[in-house]
Amino acid sequence: MKIIDGKLIANEIKKDLIKEVLKLKETNIIPGLGIILVGHNEASEIYVRNKIKVCEELGIKATLYRYNDKNTDEEIIAKIKELNNDRNIDGILVQSPLPNKFDENKIISYINPSKDVDGFGTYNLGALFSDNEQIIAATPLGILKMLDYINVSISGKNVVVIGSSIIVGRPMAAALLNRGATVTIAHSQTKNLQAVTKQADILIVAIGHAKFITDEYIKEGAIVIDVGTNRIDNKLYGDVDFDKVSPKCSYITKVPGGVGPMTIIMLLSNLIIAAKRREK
Ligand code: GUN
């Protein structure tokens, strides 16, 4: 069993991105990210703080716009329209989830597709599903990079993705299908999950339930990617029970230090690609 070290891979990519930002600066372009954070969701506060920190390390200008329950969809949409027209902004993200009163899909639909660095908008998702990939969401993109890193061929593999979210499961499945995998998306309504996951050469788990996946769900020699980030008593746990599962795997990721570090770096990779288009 080998561990796929997300922290190490992310650090390698980060070094390349720092060089890319320096090159952009020679042409007077400082990549700009507008972050919209609504409310005070504890996990979102941590994610956004980390995104801003990595932006600073890379020389990217991140600007945070805060809203709360007293604001309206229209006020957030007005900010998105302003950022769409701002030449110094290359990417706009709305940290998910929004408090219930807001219409998240509607708000996101106002982000110009070329600035939708999260890839959650209908245009980028549609392009991905029609095998015309434009901007791919950061978590699936990070997982593709990890699979690339261990030189696994995706074509023809049975891949099971557990979780059908816009952030992970759906774009992950589409990207794998584009690369020739036989893809199954399992979710909370799936019957006999073990029978499904036992078919997986590659199992990608985004359930949101600590240590849910044990050895009984795993085919001998599978590659297991754990997207879970379950915070319990201020400690982070994955969706996979690492101690039980790892002896059966050929490769596995850890939490923390697996998919998590890849996610922010791939978001900023998307942003830098968008900033490069400014030159043209
Ligand atoms: N919430 C959890 N993950 C993400 C992400 O990658 N992007 C945004 N915008 N919100 C999230």
Chain centroid to Cα 180, Å, comes to 21
Return the pLDDT at 278: 85
pLDDT at 106 over 80: yes
Mean pLDDT of 76-83: 98
pLDDT in tens, 116-164: 999 999 999 999 999 999 999 999 999 999 999 999 999 999 999 999 9
Q: Are 98 and 227 in contact (CB under 8 A)?
A: no
Mean pLDDT of 254-260: 97
In the structure encoding, which two tokens stand for residue 32, read together?
């700009």
Mutate to test the pocket of ligand 1, among 41, 45, 47, 143 (most ligand atoms within 8 A of CB): 47
pLDDT score of 279 more than 80: no
The Cα-based distances of 111 to 52, 69, 85, 236, 279 in angstroms read 20, 21, 10, 32, 21
Q: How confident is the model at residue 280 (pLDDT cuts 50, 70, 90)?
A: low
Percent of residues, the chain, with pLDDT higher than 90: 99
Average pLDDT over residues 43-57: 96
Q: How confident is the model at residue 266 (pLDDT cuts 50, 70, 90)?
A: very high
Q: Catalytic amino acids?
A: 51, 95, 118
Write down the pTM of the prediction.
0.97
Average pLDDT over all residues of the chain: 97
From the alpha carbon of 137, which atom of ligand 1 is closest?
A: 6
Residue nearest atom 1 in ligand 1 by C-alpha distance: 96
Q: What is the pLDDT of residue 28?
A: 96
d(CA 105, CA 98): 10
Distance of CA 96 from the midpoint of ligand 1 (Å):
5
What are 174-233's pLDDT values in tens digits?
999 999 999 999 999 999 999 999 999 999 999 999 999 999 999 999 999 999 999 999
CB atoms within 10 A of CB 165: 17
How far apart, in Å, are the Cα atoms of 173 and each of 11, 60, 69, 120, 161?
Answer: 26, 30, 34, 14, 7
Tell how far the Cα of 99 is from the centroid of ligand 1, in angstroms: 14
